[in-house]
Amino acid sequence: MVAYLIRRLVAAFLILLGVAAITFFLLYVLPADPVRQIAGRSATAQTVENIRHQLGLDQPFLVQFGRYLAGLTQGDLGHSYLQKTDVGTLIGARLPASLLLMAGGIFCELVIGLTLGVIAALRRGSALDQGLMVGSFVAVSAPQFVVGLLLLYIFAVKLDWFPISGYGSFSNLVLPSVTLGILGSGWYSRMMRSSMIDVLRADYIRTARAKGLGRARVVLRHALPNAILPIIAMIGIDIGIFMGGIVVVESVFGWPGIGQLAWQAIQRVDIPIIMGVTLVSATAIVLGNLLADLITPFIDPRIRLR
């Protein structure tokens, strides 16, 4: 177990190093010039060169990347070109909001997706099942900004149940979380439905029924834990998809998270922030996957981590 964890953490470190290298390289070859952004349109060629030299952007790629890595080893994510602040500080201030939103999103997609999936499986072939599966298609294919705006219009503008935007209270969290979770809930309901249908056909379900157990107990105690096993691995992968969603949802709801930070940084070619957000996201994805793998043995005793 300890050996497994150590091996996974070493692998995680190598993955993050790879992500850093690839992202850094892509930003290096990017035609957009950050120095122009900083200096402004009217700056003289000399000013531009001065700034370029100051930031070390006139150095060869390997030197730049080496400097960046050296900073990373001391926990320094670099300095924003435009905001004149440490990237670490900027991200640290906004990360809690994003993590909260992500937790809300995962909660929504699991509750909505798994519940509807189980219901569809139990009523397989019925009009309800077909309706839910059409709904899940709509959920998967609807663009998140459309869903967000629609929810805002109905529940914030028309019904006035939730605030339009803002951060700080539970009611602020509801609409962004639902928006973020609805896409995944479409996936999860479909996966859960087919997984549940498979499990309900299993021999041990027949055994459970032959014992005289009631339907509720057969479904909740025997079928559900088995049906949910293939879903757990998905949750880890999901965090990656969420990172994309967060950028959109945070803009729609004015949520002060790293998604907005990243969006602004991309528009202004603020490379240190883009790098920082990318690395933090990659870390979240790697840790999320590790966490999903660590949880599995608690639900499925057949799985041993080694």
Binding residues (CB under 8 A) for another protein: these are 3, 6-7, 202-204, 206-215, 217, 221-222, 225-226, 229, 299-302, 306
Q: What is the largest CA-CA distance in the chain?
A: 86
| DSSP-assigned letters across all residues of 216-276 | HHIIIIIIHHHHHHHHHHHHHHHHHHHHHHHHHHHHHHT--SHHHHHHHHHHTT-HHHHHH
Cβ-Cβ contacts under 8 Å for 165 (sequence gap 6 or more): 172, 253, 254, 255
Closest distance to another protein from the beta carbon of 11 (Å): 12
Cα–Cα distance for residue pair 233/283, rounded to 1 Å: 17
- Distance between CA atoms of 56 and 37, rounded to whole angstroms? 16
What is the Cα–Cα distance from 143 to 89, expressed in whole angstroms?
32
User: Minimum distance between the CB of residue 191 and another protein, rounded to whole angstroms?
Assistant: 18
The residue (of 29 and 216) whose beta carbon lies closer to another protein is 216
Q: Which is nearer to another protein, 1 or 32 (CB)?
A: 1
CA distance 147 to 175: 10
Give me the least distance between CB of 180 and another protein, in Å please: 30
Which residues is 86 bridged to in the sheet? 79
Angstrom distance (rounded) from CA 273 to CA 284: 16
DSSP state of 77: -
Q: How far is the CB of 260 from another protein (least distance, A)?
A: 42
Give 53 or 124: the residue with its C-beta nearer to another protein: 124
Closest approach of another protein to the CB of residue 116, in Å: 22
Rounded-to-10 torsion of CA 247, 232, 125, 210? -160
Instruction: Closer to another protein by CB, 53 or 221: give it.
Output: 221
| Residue number, 11 or 22, with CB nearest to another protein | 11
Looking at the Cβ atoms of 82 and 229, the one nearer to another protein is 229
239, 285 Cβ separation under 8 angstroms? yes
Nearer to another protein, 41 or 304 (CB): 304
* Closest to another protein by CB, 76 or 300: 300
HSE, side-chain direction, 13 A CA sphere, residue 178: 14
**How far is residue 87 from each of residues 94, 98, 174, 250, 287, measured CA to CA in Å?**
11, 16, 29, 19, 21
Helix axes 224-253, 144-151, angle to 10 degrees: 80
Task: Copy the structure tokens of residue 50.
Answer: 């001065």
